Amino acid sequence: MAKNIGLFWLKDDFRFCKNFALIEATRKHDQVVVFYLYKKKKFEDQQSQKWWIGKSLEEFKKKLIKFNINLEIIEITSYKSFFDKLFIKKNFSIYWNKTYEPNYLAFDSYLSKNFKDNSVEFKIFKGNVLNEVDEVKKGDGTPFKVFTPYWRNAEKYYLEKIPSMEKKISKCYKKASFFDKTLSEKEILPKKNWFKKFEKYWNPGEESAFKELKNFINDRIENYSEARNFPNLIGTSRLSPYIKHGHIHVETIWEECSKVKKKGVNKFLTEIGWREFNHTLINFFPHMLKGNYSKKFDKFPWEKNHKFLNAWKKGLTGYPIVDAGMRELYQTGWMHNRVRMIVGSFLVKHLLINWIEGEKYFKNCLLDYSEANNVSGWQWVAGSGADAAPYFRIFNPILQGEKFDKEGEYVKKWVSELKNVPKKFIHKPWELNENSILKLGEDYPFPIVVHEKARLKALKAFKKI
Ligand SMILES: Cc1cc2nc3c(=O)[nH]c(=O)nc-3n(C[C@H](O)[C@H](O)[C@H](O)COP(=O)(O)OP(=O)(O)OC[C@H]3O[C@@H](n4cnc5c(N)ncnc54)[C@H](O)[C@@H]3O)c2cc1C
């Protein structure tokens, strides 16, 4: 047992199970301190994340206390200046898991060099992925740009590897503290009322994540392939915020799914595959984090229209399925995947607003916000991504609504003004000539654009590139 303190740098890994770095620290040291670096500025444009992280810290602290391990939260202005001071401290070893964003991976190299130069023992572990982001490549050594062949190879590669060993934290430690001036997790939790609503829908924590996974496998995975498209059903796993913040490792998901022989398992694991694919893409093509993956979109004639953008954000476009999605997002910090595609397509193709604006708004609201998935999701919708939907395929919000929310249940849940509208008109309330049921323009807006006109305009704009 090492005599010095073992530090575990906690990022998006709020779990004990398959938390390789934390487990290593607890196996090697009698005294362990877990620390979280809180950079206020980082959350200015991703506010709902603060709620999830504040809650997660609260829960993780309680779990650690049972083992006599302190969780210390330190407010920083820059990661570099924090670590530059840490390098020269003595009497500790440090462990962390990788985060698969190019900035973090580059910073890992900086940290490795400096810890080594200062003779500090450190070790970096695999983070929350099945395969490391640079492990799966084409035969000629170049990265895959298309999902299907990527996933065929990635799945095979993962299955051929020896699965990571599961080890557990099992003993109590000698309590230790390491850093001065620590924060309470309560100081991270945002004060705004907006976030209070989230408590109705989510319970951040490792046990909740596992329970959600088990419920999903027991009750819903069988019909996942079909049910996943219908936003009025709870047809998907709703695990995304837990996966994003590492309450559950994707290897655990894989293992639990592999224990059952049910119809939807492959389709579900393929979606986990999209997440893996997106993480490889942003690391091989980091330019896509700042703009279009496909450079031809740099010339796209986007329009700046604050009125339209605000109507979209507020769920007041006059297209019920779009408005329901945007309101679900604001109320719950999450939106169904099918509806993410519909609202995204509407912003980019009906309103001709640059996908970057949508990406920014999602970043601020989504509890599952992930740089890789959000940027790739938006570029998929816009047509500018690696393996994207073609720009000329324009979702018709009326038909999408009629197909995937036939009874209008989803719309009525989130757009209460429409609760008395008969199902025939629920996705086109402007055709309802019944002032007593709905006063269009007063109770609910007229459509801000006319679908067919907007479609033709988008196609014309696309021809320019
Ligand atoms: C415009 C747009 C933006 C998006 N932004 C994000 C984001 O910031 N964070 C995020 O996690 N997902 C994002 N997605 C992908 C997807 O919508 C969500 O992962 C999914 O809706 C989460 O719900 P679930 O956990 O019930 O998914 P399930 O269907 O149960 O899937 C299980 C898991 O697989 C992964 N997954 C599922 N679909 C996708 C996908 N299309 N791409 C990548 N991974 C996927 C997620 O980790 C998800 O939790 C975005 C999609 C679009 C179209």
The residue whose CA has the least distance to atom 12 of ligand 1 is 373
326: in domain? yes
Residue-number span of the structural domain to which 405 is assigned: 295-463
The residue whose CA has the least distance to atom 5 of ligand 1 is 374
**CB of 398 closer than 8 Å to CB of 451:** yes
pLDDT at 200: 95
Whether residue 344 sits in one domain with residue 229: no
173: in domain? no
Domain boundary (284, 309, 334) is at 284
Q: What sign for the dihedral angle of Cα 373, 376, 380, 382?
A: positive
438: in domain? yes
183: in domain? no
For the CA of 278, the nearest atom of ligand 1: 43
pLDDT at 192: 80
Element (H, E) at 261: none
406: in domain? yes
pLDDT at 403: 98
Pocket test of ligand 1: the residue of 213, 275, 338, 342 to mutate, having most ligand atoms within 8 Å of its CB, is 275
With 0-12 / 13-18 / 19 or more C-beta atoms within 10 angstroms meaning exposed / middle / buried, residue 236 is buried
Q: What is the mean pLDDT of the chain?
A: 95
Number of Cα atoms under 13 Å in the Cβ half of residue 358: 28
**CB of 190 closer than 8 Å to CB of 50:** yes
Whether residue 457 sits in one domain with residue 314: yes
* Cα–Cα distance measured from residue 349 to residue 395, given in angstroms and rounded to the nearest whole number: 9
- For residue 95, the CA-to-ligand 1 centroid distance in Å is 29
Q: Is the pLDDT of residue 1 over 80?
A: no
Pocket test of ligand 1: the residue of 201, 217, 252, 271 to mutate, having most ligand atoms within 8 Å of its CB, is 271
* Cα–Cα distance measured from residue 46 to residue 361, given in angstroms and rounded to the nearest whole number: 9
For the CA of 335, the nearest atom of ligand 1: 21
Q: What are the beta bridge partners of residue 123?
A: 95
- For residue 340, the CA-to-ligand 1 centroid distance in Å is 9
Whether residue 61 sits in one domain with residue 132: no
The residue whose CA has the least distance to atom 49 of ligand 1 is 240
- For residue 214, the CA-to-ligand 1 centroid distance in Å is 19
* Cα–Cα distance measured from residue 180 to residue 77, given in angstroms and rounded to the nearest whole number: 16
102: domain CATH number? Answer: 3.40.50.620
pLDDT band at residue 406 under the 50/70/90 scheme? very high
Tokens (6 digits) for 253: 């998901």
Q: Indicate the range of 88-92, 286-290, 305-309, 421-425 predicted with least confidence.
A: 88-92
How many other C-beta atoms lie within 10 A of the C-beta of residue 196? Answer: 11
pLDDT tens for 347-375 read 999 999 999 999 999 999 999 999 999 99
The mean pLDDT of 143-158, rounded to a whole number, is 97
- For residue 366, the CA-to-ligand 1 centroid distance in Å is 11
For the CA of 340, the nearest atom of ligand 1: 53
* Cα–Cα distance measured from residue 207 to residue 17, given in angstroms and rounded to the nearest whole number: 10
Tokens (6 digits) for 138: 């084409």
**CB of 94 closer than 8 Å to CB of 115:** yes
pLDDT at 434: 83
Whether residue 413 sits in one domain with residue 378: yes
CA 345 to chain CA centroid, nearest Å: 19
224: in domain? yes
Whether residue 333 sits in one domain with residue 389: yes
* Cα–Cα distance measured from residue 73 to residue 260, given in angstroms and rounded to the nearest whole number: 40
For the CA of 344, the nearest atom of ligand 1: 1
Whether residue 151 sits in one domain with residue 26: no
pLDDT at 165: 65
Q: Is the pLDDT of residue 171 over 80?
A: no
Nearest Cα residue to 374 out of 111, 108, 45: 45
* Cα–Cα distance measured from residue 251 to residue 25, given in angstroms and rounded to the nearest whole number: 21
- For residue 276, the CA-to-ligand 1 centroid distance in Å is 11
261: domain CATH number? Answer: 1.25.40.80
Q: In total, how many domains does the chain have?
A: 3
Pocket test of ligand 1: the residue of 219, 244, 368 to mutate, having most ligand atoms within 8 Å of its CB, is 368
* Cα–Cα distance measured from residue 236 to residue 230, given in angstroms and rounded to the nearest whole number: 9
The mean pLDDT of 140-161, rounded to a whole number, is 95
What's the longest Cα–Cα distance across the chain?
79
Domain boundary (257, 284, 311) is at 284
b/e 246-264 (16+ beta carbons within 10 angstroms → b) = bbbbbbbbbebbeeeebeb
How many other C-beta atoms lie within 10 A of the C-beta of residue 385? Answer: 24
Whether residue 93 sits in one domain with residue 141: no
β 32-39/92-97 pair status: unpaired
* Cα–Cα distance measured from residue 135 to residue 158, given in angstroms and rounded to the nearest whole number: 10
Length of the chain: 465
191: in domain? no
Whether residue 74 sits in one domain with residue 60: yes
- For residue 232, the CA-to-ligand 1 centroid distance in Å is 17
Domain boundary (284, 312, 342) is at 284
- What is this structure's pTM? 0.97
Whether residue 304 sits in one domain with residue 275: no
Q: Is the pLDDT of residue 278 over 70?
A: yes
Which of helix, strand or coil describes residue 349? helix
With 0-12 / 13-18 / 19 or more C-beta atoms within 10 angstroms meaning exposed / middle / buried, residue 287 is exposed
419: domain CATH number? Answer: 1.10.579.10
Give percent of the chain with pLDDT exceeding 70.
Answer: 99
Nearest Cα residue to 314 out of 329, 303, 302, 304: 329
For the CA of 366, the nearest atom of ligand 1: 8
Whether residue 442 sits in one domain with residue 347: yes
For the CA of 237, the nearest atom of ligand 1: 30
Nearest Cα residue to 202 out of 167, 174, 238, 252: 238
- For residue 310, the CA-to-ligand 1 centroid distance in Å is 24
The residue whose CA has the least distance to atom 21 of ligand 1 is 337
- For residue 272, the CA-to-ligand 1 centroid distance in Å is 8
Q: Is the pLDDT of residue 164 over 70?
A: no
**CB of 14 closer than 8 Å to CB of 206:** yes
Nearest Cα residue to 73 out of 85, 63, 60, 84: 60
Radius of gyration of the chain (CA): 24
pLDDT tens for 284-343 read 999 999 999 999 999 999 999 999 999 999 999 999 999 999 999 999 999 999 999 999
pLDDT tens for 103-123 read 999 999 999 999 999 999 999
pLDDT tens for 372-390 read 999 999 999 999 999 988 9
271: in domain? yes
For the CA of 272, the nearest atom of ligand 1: 34
Whether residue 445 sits in one domain with residue 333: yes
* Cα–Cα distance measured from residue 419 to residue 411, given in angstroms and rounded to the nearest whole number: 8
For ligand 1, residues with CB inside 6 Å are 228, 236-240, 243-244, 271-272, 274-275, 278, 337, 340-341, 344, 362, 366, 368-370, 373-374, 377-378, 381
The residue whose CA has the least distance to atom 50 of ligand 1 is 377
Whether residue 153 sits in one domain with residue 65: no
pLDDT tens for 20-78 read 999 999 999 999 999 999 999 999 999 999 999 999 999 999 999 999 999 999 999 99
- For residue 44, the CA-to-ligand 1 centroid distance in Å is 23
Q: Is the pLDDT of residue 162 over 80?
A: no
